Every structure is written in C-alpha cells, then in structure tokens.
Amino acid sequence: MTVLVRISNLTRVFDVSKPWLNRVIERLPRATLTAVRGVDLEIGEREVYALVGESGSGKSTIGKMVVGLLPPSGGSVEIDGVDPARETDREALGRLRADVQMIFQDPYASLNPRWKVRDIINEPVAARGGDASGLAGRLLEKVGLDAEDGEKFPHEFSGGQRQRIGIARALASGPRFIVCDEPTSALDVSVQAQVLNLMSDLKDDLGLTLLFISHDLTIVRHMADKIGVLYLGHLVEEAPPDELFGDPKHPYTRMLLAAAPRIDGFGREAEPPKGEIPDPINPPPGCAFNPRCALADEVCRARHPELRSLRGARVACHFAE
C-alpha cells in the first residue's frame, strides 16, 4: 500500500488571549489553546481513515489543516509528497489543490444560496480555468439527482439532497483525496444511510482516499479501514475497526465504547463515565486523560505517553498491554 497522505508531528495553537488592553489592565498573561498536539499518521491510497473524538478533540482542526484551510503551527502535511504550506512550485500546488477536496458538515451553510447548483458544482473547475461544460449534469446524476437540477437553487433541496450537491462539488475537480468533516451528522438516519451508501459507492468507483471525521462510532465502524481516536488534541489510539472495537487498548477508547448508546442495550445500567474533557487552555500535566482514568498513576501525571505499537494497533498509554 502506498502512502498518499503523511501527517508528521502536526500541531496547531490558537491564541485565545483577551484583547491587549484587558491584558494590561487585568495583568493577564497571553493564553493559548493547543487544539492539535504532535499528531503523526499516514493514510494509504484508497484507504478510508476515520478520526473520532468528542468536541474539542481537534478532529476538525486536523481536517482543515490537511486541506490547507488552516496553516499548521508546527509539523507538516504531505499529500503525494507535496507539502502545501512549503511547496513553491505553482504547478505542483495547482495539481495538489485539484487533488484535495472537502465535504462539510452543514449542507445549509456550505452552499451559496445565491448561486445555481450548476455553478456551485462547476466552480472548482471553472475557477482554475478548466472546461466545465456538461460537468454539473454528469455529476448530479452520479450522486443520484437529475441533470436538470443544476438550474435550481440550493433552497429547493432537502438536507440530504444538499449534501449530495456538496459531494458532487467535491468530485468536480477529479480529486484523489477528500476530507469529509461530519458529512452526515446534520441528517436523519434514513437519509444518512443514503448518503453513506453513496459515499462508499463513489469511493469504490473512483478509487478515492477519504479522511472521515466523525463523533459517531457506529458510522465510523461502518465506513473506515483505519480509525484514529483523538483526545484533547492527541492521537491516543489507532487501529483497524475490528481491532479497535474488539480489543480497545486505550482506557479512553474503552470509555467511549462503553458510553455509546447501544441499540440492543435494553435497560442497560452501565456505570457512566466519570468527569468531562478538561479545559484545553490548561490541560492536565502528563497524559491528558489521567484525571478521568482508572489506571492513572504518578507516571501518567508526570509524563506524556508516546504512541507505541501494540498488537496491530498504535496506542499512547503507559499501561496499555
């Protein structure tokens, strides 16, 4: 398997300080929030890599850095050997941008309400001076809509149909790699099933590589070839789905799996997880999960565990075995 996307030591820091005048008057220091901290991962060609985590875990920030919507504060993203933040060859950059697309979470916010659907879909090609004639019609049919729908405006479509339009737009430039940021969390289950099926069909037909970002473990298990679990900006575990669900190694992964409501869990009286995600501005020292972890020890409070290989998975825990 050839590696298409290589993410090394990726870090993103946001400045969340108060305005300078407040800092002067109230004698406050600058405050920073590290949303993503030293994430290393590789995505193989034609692989579906899923990132899961709760809110504030940094999954969307990674997605934005991968497509180049946010510059990284440290580390690098290489797609097919090209780092968009450092590449100076315009031609290589242009090719890279056509190769990488994104599907967004909210189908109501991601389509321009004043543009016809045809123009929305053609834009990624037209903006680069390409020939987009007939493209929208073909793509609309590919995602299960009518070619004539190109003449309509986004408000004439339901949420699921809009997400199909978003998918058609992402396919317009003939990409190899698509980042899907919670593509179905705004949709109802029956519509979600339609969109997920469409995405896996398209992936097989077109040989796409996907980075699939979601908070929903059941969807991730359904879609992914490999799953990375994030907690407070750290990659804490990475494994193929069967491995992750069958033999979760990180205590946080175990907690997540236990907490997810199960459709066969009638009257289940599980001990609910303890605590909440800590404040990312003042994360706990050592392992970020230690305040909620049953296994936590002095080592966990002192030293951050490195990601290490363990039985077909990678896990960042001092005690996982």
Partner 1 sequence: MEATIPRTEAAEPVLSIRELVVEIPTRRGVLRPVDRVSFDIAPGEILGVVGESGAGKSMTGNAVIGILDRPARIASGEVRLNGARIDDAAPESLRALRGKEMGMIFQDPLTSLNPLLRIGDQLSETMLAHLPVGESEARERAVAALDEVGIPGASQRVRGYPHEFSGGMRQRVVIALALCAEPSLVIADEPTTALDVSVQAQIIGLLKRLCRERGTAVMLITHDMGVIAEAADRVAVMYAGRLAELGPVRDVIQRPRHPYTDGLMGSTPLASRGLGRLRQIPGAMPRLGNPPPGCAFAPRCPKARDACRLDPRPEISGSGGGAACLFPMEAA
Contacting residue, 262, 303, 308, 311, with partner 1 by CB under 8 A: 262
Q: Report the side by side order of strands in the sheet with 3-15.
A: 32-44, 3-15, 74-79
Which region among 61-69, 89-97, 102-110, 271-279 touches partner 1 (by CB under 8 A)? 271-279
Cα radius of gyration (the chain)? 21
How many chain residues are in contact with partner 1, going by CB under 8 A? 40
Calculate the CA 103 to chain-centre distance.
10
**E strands of 74-208, at which residues?**
74-79, 100-103, 177-181
Give, as ranges, the residues between 44 and 103 that touch partner 1 (CB under 8 A): 54-55
Which C-beta is closer to partner 1: that of 101 or that of 290?
Answer: 290
Q: Is residue 99 a contact partner of residue 87, using CB atoms and an 8 Å limit?
A: no
Give the three-class secondary structure for 279: coil
Which region among 61-69, 101-109, 273-281, 306-314 touches partner 1 (by CB under 8 A)? 273-281
Residue 6 in contact with partner 1, rule: CB under 8 A: no
What does the DSSP assignment read for 243-274?
Answer: HHHHS--SHHHHHHHHHS--TT-TT--PPPPP
Q: Which of 35, 116, 3, 10 is nearest to 279 (CA)?
A: 35
Binding mask 209-238 for partner 1 (x = CB under 8 A): ------x-xxx-xx----------------
Q: How far is the CB of 257 from partner 1 (least distance, A)?
A: 8
Contacting residue, 110, 163, 194, 209, with partner 1 by CB under 8 A: 194
d(CA 199, CA 167): 8
Give, as ranges, the residues between 105 and 164 that touch partner 1 (CB under 8 A): 158, 160
Which C-beta is closer to partner 1: that of 133 or that of 218?
Answer: 218
Which region among 78-86, 130-138, 256-264, 312-320 touches partner 1 (by CB under 8 A)? 256-264
Contacting residue, 13, 98, 126, 196, with partner 1 by CB under 8 A: 196
Q: Is residue 242 a contact partner of residue 279, using CB atoms and an 8 Å limit?
A: no
Q: Which amino acid is at 178?
A: I
Contacting residue, 269, 282, 298, 309, with partner 1 by CB under 8 A: 269
Q: How far is the CB of 224 from partner 1 (least distance, A)?
A: 10
Which region among 41-49, 67-75, 102-110, 270-278 touches partner 1 (by CB under 8 A)? 270-278
Q: Is residue 44 a contact partner of residue 7, using CB atoms and an 8 Å limit?
A: no
d(CA 79, CA 61): 17
Q: Which residues bind partner 1 (CB under 8 A)?
A: 54-55, 158, 160, 188-194, 196-197, 200, 215, 217-219, 221-222, 245, 255-256, 258-270, 272-273, 276-277
